[in-house]
Amino acid sequence: MAKTHSQLTRYNPEEEHAERHYAAIGRVAATWAAFEFFIDDNISRLAGIDSFIGACLTVQIIGQARKLDAYMSLAKLLGAADEKIHQVFLFQQKSYALAERRNRVVHDLWDISDNGLIERLEIIAKGKRHSHDFVEHSTDEIDKLIDEIVSHITNFDLLHTELTSSIDASQDKS
DSSP E strands, the chain: 109-112, 118-126, 129-136
Orientation angle between helical segments 16-47 and 139-173, nearest 10 degrees: 10
Q: What angle do CA 99, 130, 94 make, to 5 degrees?
A: 20
pLDDT tens digits, one per residue of 23-32: 999 999 999 9
Res. 1: pLDDT tops 90: no
Buried b (16+ CB within 10 A) or exposed e, 108-131: bebbbeeeeebbbbeeeeeeeeee
Taking every pair of C-alpha atoms in the chain, what is the biggest distance, in angstroms? 69
Give the pLDDT confidence score for residue 169 in this predicted structure.
78
Res. 8: pLDDT tops 70: no
Orientation angle between helical segments 16-47 and 51-58, nearest 10 degrees: 110
What are the backbone dihedrals phi and psi of residue 12, each rounded to the nearest 5 degrees, phi first?
A: -125, 70
Give the pLDDT confidence score for residue 124 in this predicted structure.
86
pLDDT tens digits, one per residue of 66-113: 999 999 999 999 999 999 999 999 999 999 999 999 999 999 999 888
Question: What residue spans define the domains of the chain?
Answer: 10-169
